[in-house]
Amino acid sequence: MTYNSDSDNDDVFQAQARLDDDNLLVPVQEACRIGTEQVFSFAKYPSRTIRIAEDSSGGCGGKTWEAASVLSNHLIHRFLENPAFLRNLNVVELGAGTGVVGILAGMLMADDMAQAGLATSGTIFITDMLFLDLMQKNVLLNMSEHERACVKVAELKWGIPSPPEVLQGPVNLILASDCVYLEAAFDPLLETLTELSTPGITELLIVSKKRRKADKRFFDKLRKQFDVVEVRFLRRLGFERGRGEGTPAIKPLFVSRQGGRASWNAYEEPANAVCWLK
């Protein structure tokens, strides 16, 4: 597979080219968003609204995508089942873009701290190789000082060693929404997932929109190193056909490093989900 680029030195993560209608390299791009805003409200978490500033002049990660909404609602579902599900965890969001998922996770962690009367809890690392200023802006726009104590914005590029601050302790949970879209990034992403994961400790929540047949190759490679089990409780996720903030069909999978499943704060099912959006 090849793609056109104005420069032979372009970073593969910034590639914006399209191949054809059946083999898209990246999500179909609309007009560049600079200074626009998306508002996220959640039917099952009505006390909070997240206002996300966008700037896609630096790439498609500078705007919000549907997978972020699906993953956010999945986190809320977990929180309502068990408010302590993020307590004392080290969480890393990969390819965060605007940061909406990590911001919500920080809010949920802070809510649990307040309800339980805790002074400290875990850390949510909101990471990307780009958009650091945009992510920090959205953190400041939406989070109180107390909530900001739960999150850290950090640069993390797939396929090279992660920042020492991210690796100070075992990573318990990895979040990724719409990170599977560029075939040249499949191997670097897998390298980073493997580096961050510890068997029996680390679990993943990945939501990706199915765009190309090539995307399946990523998950075929994922299955060689991670245990993947399909989730069957779609209604409990809050996405019924034609309703909710997701798309009509969602196929979540549980994912954990081979060699032992993690125990996710006594939640009745594994923490991980890879969600295909059709």
Q: How would you class 144 by CB atoms within 10 Å of its CB: exposed for 0-12, middle for 13-18, buried for 19 or more? A: exposed
**pLDDT exceeds cutoff 70 at 29:** no
Question: Token pair for residue 70?
Answer: 């699906």
Q: Where are the beta strands (DSSP E) in 226-265?
A: 226-230, 250-257
Mean pLDDT of 228-254: 44
d(CA 181, CA 23): 10
Amino acid identity, residue 261? Answer: R
Give how far Cα 133 sits from Cα of 77, 114, 127, Å. 29, 28, 11
Least confident of 21-30, 101-110, 138-147, 265-274: 265-274
pTM of the model: 0.78
State which H helix or E strand residue 151 sits in: strand 151-155
Q: In this predicted model, what pLDDT tens digit does every residue of 54-65 receive, in sequence order? A: 876 655 655 676
Mean pLDDT of the chain: 75
User: Which range (16-20, 143-147, 211-215, 229-233) has the least confidence?
Assistant: 16-20
pLDDT at 114 over 50: yes
